[in-house]
Structure 1
Amino acid sequence: MSEPLAISPFQLIDAGIKISPYFGALILAIYVLGRTNALFYIVYRGHQILGGAKDFHSKSAQRHWKAHEDFQRFNLWFGMNLRTSRNMTKFLSWLDHHELTIEELCRARRYFNANKLEFAIPTPWHRWTMRASILAGIAILTAVWAVFVDARLAFYTVNKTKTSFWVEENQARSSTGKALDWLSESWIIDTEYCLFSTDTAPLANEWDKEVICDLVLGNQNPQIEEAIKSQRFIAVSAGILGAAWFIFLLFIVDRERNAKALLQKVDKNNTEPTL
């Protein structure tokens, strides 16, 4: 066959690896934007190249520049998402007033609005909806890991007919398998079928038979091996991502607990009589 008549979706991994450096740069830019609400440091780097990062001669201009630089650096380091340097000044005064440290607030940052100086504890419905969604995602990733971690068959789809199937050397089977017979009719074909059968059944048409048998008879073995390697890569990635999601779940539970403790401390300070 001069061109691939069946393709494995996992062959797209090679293209993903090639664009990964650009994707990484985009993620970094999004991270900076999310922490500072501005692309200050990316623009600042460009200004350095142009020679525009020198000190101002005006003391007043230099003072405002330093305040802005401190504000951007504070947001980048602590991720408080402050909107202005004035908000930063108020926030630091609020910390001193309630005898709190920036380290304590960082451990509850997700549930604290530094611009409004107030905590935002989620409602029980919101809390359990979010946690259930994360657990569902972990379950899906775990299922992907379980299916492909010990893959011996490659998953393919016939381009023309969109028939999906699993294939290994000398054998192919339907994508559903025996466990899902109720969903669609399952089938298994081998080299004997491909060499001697004149009927297309159990396949839907002659085109499927030609394409699938080309793989079963070993004409595309290197391609099958590469697809299996890609599937194992997907399994490892799914396992790592699932573990990361589980750690994230523990993280938000811990952050909410810290936020509740700090809120109680602030409320206590507000209700205590002043001597």
Structure 2
Amino acid sequence: MVSQYASERTTRIARQYDLFQASLETTEKQRKYLNYGYTITGDESYEQRQEQLCMEVFRAAELTRDHVVVDVGFGSGEQDFLLVRTCEFARLIGYNIAETQVRYASARAAHEGLAGKLEFRAGEAEALPGLAPASVDRVMAIECAFYFDRPRFYERAAEVLKPGGRLVLADICFSDACTWLARPRVGTASGNRREWEKFFHTRSIRPIHQHTRPGAQMTVTQIFKTMPRATLTFAQRVEWLKMAIASQIVALGLRTRLLHYDLIVLER
């Protein structure tokens, strides 16, 4: 369960994604990814781009059949069902603060006979409840770490990873030129690195803003194309409108390099 000590911000984000999940289940969206995608040719569909971003993270994780994987902020769980189809690994444990998404992913795993392979839990990324120290091989965070209390998350991820284990992030942050503008949880490139290097060795940082910016812009279009014909509550429409505004800001930030989008691999 999400901690009773969760911040007001965490509670608000959980409610936002509960509303997103409920609305996704009423739309025609076949695969319920929640990310900006990774554009290669420019001819891909929106969902293909979203899938490609997940695949970039999976490749960076270099999974093997005996690996225990943790996915924090898994959204609807779509990326983890993709992982089952495309990679070998022993078991995955997902954590999410939106209990509607946890229930949805758990029900889908049971329906598809994957309950022994995929386990979805309600819990904060900073806590990862139920995990013993040095018990997992990989931790993944796809486009979600900007919601976390980063110092606490890095410390807890390092604690649960085995020696040589990896934390792999598809992550958005402010450039160092925007220190005056940066919000604490989003952070700046150098500030975030200082925090994670208290616990990790930086294996690689690959800028992918050129590949992710088109999808951020496309997200705005997708939202405004879908909203008029979707059966949504007022609260759901408000959250999608806020997401459209945030996505437009991200697209502009990536274009002007005020924001970074990086694929980061850290080693314990």
TM-score bucket (shorter structure): under 0.3
Q: Which has the larger radius of gyration?
A: 1
Greater per-residue helix proportion: 1
Greater per-residue strand proportion: 2
